[in-house]
Chains A and B, each alone.
Chain A
Amino acid sequence: MKIMHRPKLNWLTFLRMYLRSFLLQSSWNFEKLQNLGFYFMILPGLRDIYGEEVPEDVRERHIDYFNTHPYFATLVAGTTLRLEAGSRVGEEPSVDAETYKSMVMAPFAAMGDALFWGGVRPLAALIGLLIASQGSLWAPVVFLLIFNLPHLFFRGSGLMLGYVQELHAIETVQKCRFPDLAIRLKESTTILIGVLCAYLSFKGCEHQELPAVWGFVILPIVLLFAWLAHKGVSSLFLVVLTTSSLLLLALLF
């Protein structure tokens, strides 16, 4: 049923959807992944648009298979709701809400994985570890801050951006060049891994009362292990290998 004015979402609805986005994956399942979670998240918005009784076809299309990076889900929700609101006044965008969702979820998942799981998180963890190596309990606090400032901002701004810019939000996303940013972050992480390894090698030599130059011996060993990990050798195996050889050495000498 068409109406005259495009329904608007009030700010409280946005706040509720922002909070609900933290429960996106509560019923993660193999069959439809985040489907209940997505509907759960956008429900306040759907109620603003359709009233208490959300039409059957709308329910049907938003409880279907859904899977994207949890931090990008709010962006999808924003655009989806804007498209739904537009459809009530007969707007006909080039891509409808259902198709939009199916098109963006996988690429957004990839971007989120690269940016947050591959980029921000290891970098924050490395900084945390360097602090922890000084025995400071600030390490977890700093780690959480570095990670969550971008995380929490991203969820909120994604929701607004998606709603305000509708399909054009993708152009903003493209301009941000997140995959390239992720690569910069990863490069920074590898530098910090180098710093951490050198520091540990230095401390190790100090402990064994060896001159620090022996620390360079560690470099090829770390590279060898990195290569093994790259080839798919499990962390568990590498831990067992390291432990047993060190224990053996300790027993022999």
Chain B
Amino acid sequence: MSIVLARIDSRLVHGQVLEAWVPYVNADCIVVANNKVAGESFQRMVMQAAVPSSIKLIIGTLEETASILISTDLLRKRVLLLFANSDDALKARQLGVEYPKLNLGNMHSSAGKDRYTCTIALDHQDIEVLQQVEDQGVTIVSQCVPADREQNWHKLIRVGGR
């Protein structure tokens, strides 16, 4: 199994992922690791409707997806792994999911978060959590779509949010 892209994207399965990233990294399997979505049958149905039948879609809780990712089930798949937020990315890592690089896609703004790029809003806790992920040897970059320039997240933090 190889995780060809691990990404934090609060919108999970949407256009940027399916139209831009899936072809770019040549993924044939999408794993959505999110406890909330895993329990919502309606939302799972909607997501399934959005993914072409040639791509395998797995939606599960963090524990479920971690055990699938660690097992040999997806040995020959090129996996695109999606998290909704920074906490999930850290928890998956702690559950033993090895991804060398973490892409920050969309982390949309809510009260108390500062916006660092057009699509990324973080609060102190996010930054702390991401720092912990990085301390485990993960390179963290921000890149909305493949056509954008890849940027190390420290550059964003240094510039500061608004």
Residues of A within 8 A of B (CB): 30-31, 65, 67, 69, 94-95, 100, 103-114, 117-118, 167, 170-171, 173-174, 177-180, 182-183, 230, 232, 234
Q: Which residues of A contact B159 (CB under 8 A)?
A: none
**Distance of A239 from chain B, by nearest CB (Å):** 15
Is B47 positioned at the interface, with any CB of A under 8 Å from its CB?
Answer: yes
Within 8 A of A (CB), among B38-65: 40, 42-43, 45-54
Cβ contact within 8 Å between B50 and A95: no
Segment among B10-18, B66-74, B94-102 that sits at the interface with chain A: B10-18
A109 touches B146 (CB 8 A): no
B147 contacts across to A, CB distance below 8 A? 232, 234
Cβ contacts B84-116/A at 8 Å (1 or 0 each): 000000000000000000000000110000000
- Besides A94-B42, A110-B14, A114-B15, 7 new A-B residue pairs in contact (Cβ under 8 A), listed by A number: A30-B118, A105-B11, A107-B46, A110-B13, A110-B18, A179-B18, A234-B147
B135 at the interface (CB under 8 A from A): no
Q: List 21 A-B contacts (CB under 8 A).
A: A65-B108, A69-B15, A100-B42, A103-B43, A104-B46, A106-B11, A106-B12, A106-B13, A108-B46, A110-B19, A111-B49, A112-B15, A113-B18, A113-B19, A114-B52, A117-B15, A118-B19, A170-B45, A170-B46, A178-B49, A232-B147
Report Cα–Cα, A251/B128, bound state, in Å. Answer: 59
Contacts known (A173-B49, A180-B53); A103 close to B18, Cβ less than 8 A: no
In contact, A179 and B50 (Cβ under 8 angstroms): yes
A-binding residues in B (CB < 8 A): 11-15, 17-19, 23-24, 40, 42-43, 45-54, 108-109, 118, 146-147
Q: How far is the CB of B24 from chain A (nearest CB, A)?
A: 8
> For the complex, what is the distance from the CA of A103 to the CA of B52, rounded to whole Å?
18
Q: Which residues of B contact A100 (CB under 8 A)?
A: 42
Chain A contact surface mostly: helix
Q: A30-B118, A167-B42, A170-B42 are in contact. Are A107 and B49 (CB under 8 A)?
A: yes
CB of B52 within 8 A of CB of A179, answer yes
Residue contact A180 to B49, C-beta cutoff 8 Å: no
What residue in chain A is nearest B46 (Cβ atoms)?
A107
Contact across chains for A174 and B49 when beta carbons are under 8 A apart: yes
Residues on the A chain within 8 Å of B23, using CB: 230
Provide the residues of chain A in CB contact with B14, threshold 8 Å.
Answer: 106-107, 109-110
> Do residues A182 and B40 form an inter-chain contact, with CB atoms below 8 A?
no
Q: What 4 pairs across the A-B complex have the smallest Cβ distances?
A: A113-B15, A179-B52, A107-B50, A106-B14
A177–B54 CA distance with the chains assembled, in angstroms: 12
**Chain B residues with CB under 8 A of A104:** 46
CB-CB under 8 A from A182, the residues of chain B are 52
Quick one: given A94-B42, A103-B43, are A114 and B49 in contact (CB under 8 Å)? Answer: no
Cα A170 to Cα B43 in complex, Å, equals 10
Complex CA–CA separation, A181 to B132 (angstroms): 43
**Bound CA–CA A105/B43 (angstroms):** 10
Residues of A contacting B18 with CB < 8 Å? 110, 113-114, 179
Interface centre among B17, B19, B23, B48 (most CB of A within 10 A): B19
Q: Is the CB of A107 within 8 A of B13?
A: yes
Determine which residue in A109, A178, A230 has the highest number of CB atoms from chain B within 10 A of its CB, and name it: A109
A103 to B, closest residue via Cβ: B43
Q: Is the CB of B42 within 8 A of A183?
A: no
User: Please, how many angstroms separate the alpha-carbon atoms of A179 and B54 in the complex?
Assistant: 10
